[in-house]
Amino acid sequence: MATNILICDDSSFARKQMARAIPPEWDVEVHFAADGIEGLEAIRAGKGEVVFLDLTMPNLDGYGVLETIRRDDLPAMVIVVSGDIQPDAQERVKALGAMAFIKKPIDADKARAILSEYGIMAGG
Amino acid sequence: MNTQTQPVVDLNEDQRDCYQELTNVAMGQAADRLARLLDAYVVLPIPKVNLIEANDLRMAIQEVEDESAMSAVCQGFIGSGIAGEALLLFNDTSFHDLSTLMNYPGELDRFAEMELLMDVSSLLIGACIQGIGEQLEIHFNQGHPVILGQHCKVEDLLKPGNHQWTKTLAIEIHYTLEHVNIDCDLLLLFTEDSVIKLNDKINYLLD
pLDDT in tens, B169-188: 999 999 999 999 999 999 99
Q: Do the Cβ atoms of A13 and B46 come within 8 Å?
A: no
Given CB atoms, is A59 within the 8 Å cutoff of chain B?
Answer: no
Instruction: Decide if pLDDT at A123 tops 70.
Output: no
- Cα–Cα dist A7/A15, whole Å: 6
Residue-range domain boundaries for chain A? 9-106
Report phi then psi at A107, rounded to 5.
Answer: -140, 170
Closest CA–CA distance from residue A15 to any residue of chain B (Å): 10
pLDDT in tens, B61-89: 777 777 789 999 999 999 999 999 999 99
Q: Which of B17, B3, B122, B104 is nearest to A10 (CA)?
A: B17
Architecture in CATH for domain A9-106: 3-Layer(aba) Sandwich (3.40)
Give contacts of A85 with chain B, Cβ < 8 Å.
28-29, 32
Q: Do the Cβ atoms of B18 and A10 come within 8 Å?
A: no
Architecture in CATH for domain B13-206: 3-Layer(aba) Sandwich (3.40)
Q: Please compute the mean of the pLDDT values over residues A16-30 and round it to a whole number.
A: 94
Q: CA of A84: which chain B residue's CA is closest?
A: B28
- Cα–Cα dist B140/B132, whole Å: 9
Give contacts of A11 with chain B, Cβ < 8 Å.
17-18, 20-21, 24
User: Residue A36: helix, strand or coil by DSSP?
Assistant: helix
Q: Please compute the mean of the pLDDT values over residues B99-125 and round it to a whole number.
A: 92
ipTM: 0.91
User: Residue A52: helix, strand or coil by DSSP?
Assistant: strand
Q: Do the Cβ atoms of B14 and A10 come within 8 Å?
A: no
Contacts of B87 (CB under 8 A, 6+ apart): B72, B73, B74, B148, B186, B187, B188, B189
Straight-line distance from the first to the last Cα atom of chain B, in angstroms, rounded to the nearest whole number: 34
Which pLDDT score, from 0 to 100, does residue A40 have? 98
Mean pLDDT of chain A: 94
Which pLDDT score, from 0 to 100, does residue A124 have? 43
pLDDT in tens, A93-111: 999 999 999 999 998 999 9
